[in-house]
A and B are shown apart, each in its own frame.
Chain A
Amino acid sequence: MSPSPIVRPAAAVIAFALAACGRSSSPAPPPVCALPTPQASALPAAQVLRLGTHGVGETVSFQVPPGTGSVTIVQQGTQPSAAQTVTHQGEVLGNTVVPWTVKVGGTEFFNDGAVAPADPAAWGTPNGIGSIYFGTEAVWTGSMTVPNTTNMLDYVDAHGGVPSGSWSVEVNDYARECRGTTGCVVGDGKSGYPAGSYDVTVLLKAGPVVSTGTLDVTFYLVTDRLDAATAPASGSVARMEQTLAGYLAGAGISLGTVRFVDLPPATKARFAAGVDADDTSPCGEVASVLQTSGPGNTMNLFLVNHLTSTQVGTTRVVGVDGTVPGPSSVGGTVASGALVSVEDLAVGQGTAACAGAVNLAGCGADGTAYVAAHETGHFLGLYHPTESYGTLFDPVKDTPTCACTACAPPTQVASCLQSGKPGASTYEVTGADCTKQLSNPSSPCGGGENLMFWLRSAARSTGALTAQQSRILRANALVE
């Protein structure tokens, strides 16, 4: 076991035990909202291992056959009174559920206490730490899909599948880690929160993962501008589907069955003025929308009129994914899909803007499809190749990076985030900064055209996906 510089498993367990002793004087708070109970996977039974409910600190084991293409570990909360947040050195974080360790045959492939570097693509080895990456907020429901790194893709190449044999996963959440960490507070710091417990399900996808696949999509219509009866005949919807299919094809994935499902009229009315994207907690509006998804092995895309922010002056978003990756094939959870704004959908429809090649500048359906494809990429396991400040990168080697200090305009380099937390003047890398490699292959500044780049630009976003990104997408259990 590789101890963390700050959080050690033993320390966490001891601290948790002490906290448990002190709980009697402070009652647990009531649940703050109705959280969903564990939901079942829609995959065939042979692909699903239901391992039951386990408290944090417990280790669960299961067998993975040789030649398996991917493994997805889905953990769904069962203790609604558990804390939903932790405050670590003044920063409020969601109580993310993530395994403390993942081992195969005694070899540790993941340890949440092991600190990944800013560029995890070059971190670790294919046969140990650094081969599985996790970097998302995932409260109440958390998923981990393997492979999601270049290291693990290399392992798959060498062994014909992900690690086989006896896997063991130590159930864990941030509250457990927090209890063993100086300067960390669980929940409000006053109530006696019970420890988290989670239903653990493992999804197996048989290998080898081939160069093509099919992804079914369900469009849940939160928007009141579309209904399931007429949406299939809508020109703008058809254009969106066509463009989405084109982006997926870049990864060797065909768009399979497309379904449209109306949410109840009252739900449509409730969210007609937008879904508040500020609160991404399991009690927030995003989660309450995602919970309405039904069972099925499909990518659930919730089309909303728009996404709003109640923060003064904060620019809202046009897409939101539940978690990276999502709980593939498991509907009805707080993370079972992604939300996509359709406020631009009809723009340009019926004109030349939407008649030819993809046109992000003039065809709203194309822009909507781009966001849908981007959020699908997150759900299937992809991160932004370069995050906004140009200091954090994805765990995939063949995605070009765009470090702020190397790629920002000369007048802005001093505003690049050097260390610590970003401030109001911290520079963000843009498409212009991160597409220099296209014209100058020796430039270190790339990835701005990639589908998973954090910005969409009519001039620069091509929706490109690299070979390794495509392999990660196709390895997901959702892709058949």
Chain B
Amino acid sequence: MLAAIALVAATLAAAPPVAAPSDAEVRAHVEALLGAIDTPIPAARWRALGPAAAPALAALAASEDQMPSTRSKALAALGAADAGEAERISRVLVDAPDAPLTVRQTAVRTLGHVLAPARLRAALAPVLRAALPVGLRAVAAEALARHAGQDACAEVMDQVSLEPAADHPRFERAAALCAGRR
């Protein structure tokens, strides 16, 4: 197998020029890629789809007619394609109690990806302290620990201390990040 990889790398060649796809083709491709089962689609790919991708992703992320997994995937991809729009939709979804929990959790994670540390702390502090259910608080703790630097860890660990012991495993990633174990 290593030999195969070497052979592929050795034949690297320049790609020919590419014609721009229509907006409709981009939208169709966005929807198709969101159907990936076990193949991750990297951020750079979403960005490379061009400006027509972001509106399609935004519409899918916000649509209550879509499956939660599709909405979550679209929102995560939007974080790469259009950070501003991803922030707007994520802020709405974080505070939408009727939205599926996994979509809200993805919204919290997306804010972690698109906001600078200070703004992230401002956005997620109320979520960390008071959001329901606990699963949302746990993801907020992780996002803060991962993206807002050590300064946020005092708040994170303070909140962990307030959580029932049975819920502490939910905060394990955040605690590990704050302890420098990840």
Contact = CB atoms under 8 A, between A and B. Distances in A.
Contact of A316 (B19, B21, B73, B100): B73
Interface residues of B, number: 68
Interface stretch (A21-29, A152-160, A293-301, A304-312): A304-312
Contacts of A273: 105, 135, 138-139, 142, 170, 173
B68 interface: yes
A371 B37 contact: yes
Contacts of A314: 40-43, 76, 80
B36 A6 contact: no
Contacts of B3: 4-7, 112-115
A349 B145 CA distance: 37
Contacts of B13: 418-420
B158 interface: no
B47 interface: yes
Interface stretch (B27-35, B91-99, B123-131, B149-157): B27-35
Interface residues of A, number: 85
Given A313-B77, A419-B12, A270 B172 contact: yes
A434 to B, nearest CB: 10
Interface stretch (A46-54, A66-74, A88-96): A88-96
Given A7-B2, A313-B43, A313-B46, A431 B9 contact: no
B147 to A, nearest CB: 9
B139 to A, nearest CB: 5
Contacts of B173: 273, 276
A388 B139 CA distance: 31
A343 B32 contact: no
A273 B135 CA distance: 6
B15 interface: yes
Contacts of B105: 273-274, 306
Given A4-B3, A420-B13, A411 B42 contact: no
Chain B: interface secondary structure? Answer: helix
B159 interface: no
A364 B46 CA distance: 25
Contacts of B79: 312-313
A425 B48 contact: yes
A93 B9 CA distance: 14
Nearest to A276: B173
Max chain A Cβ within 10 angstroms of own Cβ: one of B29, B67, B166: B67
Given A112-B1, A270-B172, 14 more contacts: A91-B5, A174-B2, A274-B105, A305-B101, A313-B47, A317-B40, A343-B67, A347-B67, A364-B67, A367-B67, A412-B21, A414-B16, A420-B9, A456-B37
Interface of B: 1-9, 11-13, 15-22, 25, 28-29, 32-48, 67-69, 72-73, 76-77, 79-81, 100-102, 105, 109, 113, 135, 138-139, 142, 146, 166-170, 172-173
21 contacts: A112-B1, A177-B2, A270-B169, A270-B170, A276-B173, A306-B69, A313-B42, A313-B47, A314-B40, A315-B41, A317-B40, A318-B69, A343-B100, A367-B69, A411-B19, A411-B21, A412-B19, A415-B15, A420-B9, A431-B35, A454-B36
